[in-house]
Structure 1
Amino acid sequence: MIDYGTQRSTVKPLELELTETKVFVASNISPVDEPGTEDQPGFTGYEFDLVEYDKDEYIKIQAEKNAALEQQVTDTQIALCEVYELMV
């Protein structure tokens, strides 16, 4: 993983961009419109956080997130069953 930190672009980035070997994740995308000064030109575009992953690394992270979500759903179902049993 490479965290590029806050980036700027005149083109709105995709939240998820896939290449043959890499995955780029852009988050916190917000429009920016800064007026220029006599010394500096203005900027109109987007600011966002950018992280690069190897494809295998990204797949592993997503699999771990899915496993955690599955466990949370199971825990919720068990809790709902217990509440239902208390009501009966």
Structure 2
Amino acid sequence: NESEYHSMGLRPRHAYSVLDVQDYKGLRLVGPRYPWGHLSWKGDRFDNCPLWTNTLHNKLMPHGADDGLLWMSFQDMLKYFDSIDVCKTKRT
């Protein structure tokens, strides 16, 4: 329901861009970005996980948490997003 999405810091029925994915010592992480910025993921940020160190936090979020990039586990991505569109890009 919409209130659950809002409580997690997400906008329901909205498009996000996945900017990055990481596998860090077994943690499968996805980095979707809310295009209007200024949202903060309120779900599991691995704060209680020994692998979620300041070093990893700084690597994944070098500009702080207010740039719209929401790092979350792959499991949370599957829980809160019901469809994913993939496109192939070409580097120039």
Give the TM-score of the pair, scaled to structure 2: 0.24
Higher strand share: 1
Q: Rg larger in 1 or in 2?
A: 1
Query: Which structure is higher in helix share?
Result: 1
What's the TM-score once normalised by structure 1's chain length?
A: 0.25
